[in-house]
Amino acid sequence: MSLVDRDKAVVWHPYTQMKTAAPPLAIVRGQGVYLYTEDGRQLLDGISSWWVNIHGHSHPRLNQAIAEQAKKIEHVIFAGATHEPAVELAERLVGILPAGLTRIFYSDNGSTAVEVAIKLAVQYWQNAGKPDRRGIVALRHAYHGDTIGAMSVSEESVFTQPFAPLLFPVDRVHPGELEDHLKAHGQRIAAVIVEPMLQGAGGMIIWPAESLARVRELCYRHGVLMIADEVLTGFGRTGRMFACEHASVTPDIICLSKALTAGYLPMAVTAVTNAVYGAFLSDDRAKTFFHGHSFTANPLGCAVALASLDLFEEGNLLERIGRLERQLREGLSPLAALPAVADVRVIGGVGVVELRSDSGGYLDTIGPRLYEEFLARGILLRPLGNVLYFMPPYVITDAEVDWVVGCIGDVVKGLEARG
Ligand SMILES: Cc1ncc(COP(=O)(O)O)c(C=O)c1O
């Protein structure tokens, strides 16, 4: 029996209508930017395996870091115990995060990093004696994950609709509406949560650094905490190590995951300022942050994250991402003139081609068609409905970028020829 047949008998895949979905790709191996299938195909990983991979697949240095760590300690409870990789990673992160983020809380995926951020924000105000400040403001088109809290702060969508009765109420605003909203309701707001510079799953929407700076300023003015969800944007995706740097802002709370471990292991961080941390220090045990996960600060995850930071620094990757950005901009911009294209936008290592569509949204049928067209050419791209994007690992070569950009042009023009 093939892997796909065995899979079909017992596995349930994420975001997948199991009745109608095409068989999954059976991946047997990865190397650099390429994935290899059981039936002998080579596919360029154009979405960094759900935005997590930055140094390529099966990188010898990262493999070695995990193997070495496994020989020492693979995992240990993180309440009442600590270990070298967790401490060193926290030290290294504090050194590179926007200045003022000084305390690292570990969890294990992007959604839990967001849950931690929301819970910290709400309890912060309770501990500070202002329990009425418990509202959360989120941006329109936001996506922060699939757990109940993360869904609550995400835009309402086909993802969240069945669970509407379970979600807590959240104020949703466009960045331009935030000032009026905080003027009217700031007193009951605990925090504003944003995806700095780039809203990912909500449609790869790039928003201006000035608006981000404005969010920071308004949060300060109204005494509201600012949460930056950098689960996607962290570790260079937008051309800076952290997207908050585009506006030189320090949020009160930041969420990291995905590329934190270079896409190797599920791990996340929620980092906070001294002021947030300080509100939890008390002789009153009820002010403790009672939150944790079995795999909190997993040593293997921390070890690979440390090795990933080494590669980042040694490879001068921010410069490499700058070159990638210029190449994407030059290559994709001409497509904006095509009638089928509504918009082309680029930030850092992310190139986006939004196609015109009648329905739009995640369920737009153009997405699966494009997915198949690119697979046939040896490229894994997974459009968000009518929003086609290319977000490769940084180890991609200039020639490979040219090739993918050329294929994107051909496929989009092909769509027009067929109508
Ligand atoms: C900005 C943002 N926050 C949170 C998440 C949730 O992360 P995870 O899928 O690891 O739960 C994602 C995932 O795509 C994301 O893009």
Query: pTM of the entire structure?
Result: 0.98
State the alpha helices, DSSP H only, in 259-360: 274-278, 299-314, 317-332
Instruction: Locate the ligand 1 atom nearest the alpha carbon of residue 145 and give its number.
Output: 6
Determine whether 264 is an active site residue. Answer: no
State the alpha helices, DSSP H only, in 12-109: 48-51, 60-72, 84-96
Average of per-residue pLDDT across 276-286: 98
Let me know: does 178 contact 192? Beta carbons within 8 Å.
Answer: yes
Residue pLDDT, tens place only, 333-381: 999 999 999 999 999 999 999 999 877 666 678 889 999 999 999 999 9
Question: Longest C-alpha distance within the chain, in Å?
Answer: 71
- CB-based pocket (< 6 A), ligand 1: 109-111, 114, 143-145, 195, 200-201, 229, 231-232, 257
Q: How high is the pLDDT of residue 357?
A: 86
User: Among 108, 171, 229, 364, which one carries the catalytic annotation?
Assistant: 229
Give the Cα separation of 409 and 3 in Å (integer). Answer: 34
Determine whether 389 is an active site residue. Answer: no
Give the Cα separation of 355 and 336 in Å (integer). Answer: 10
Give the Cα separation of 5 and 38 in Å (integer). Answer: 12
Q: How high is the pLDDT of residue 361?
A: 66
What's phi and psi for 385, nearest 5 deg? Answer: 60, -120
CA neighbor of 175 nearest in space, from 152, 192, 150: 192
Query: Is the predicted pLDDT of residue 96 greater than 70, yes or no?
Result: yes
Give the Cα separation of 353 and 336 in Å (integer). Answer: 8
Which residue of 108, 116, 144 sits with most ligand 1 atoms within 8 Å of its CB, as the best mutation to test the pocket? 144
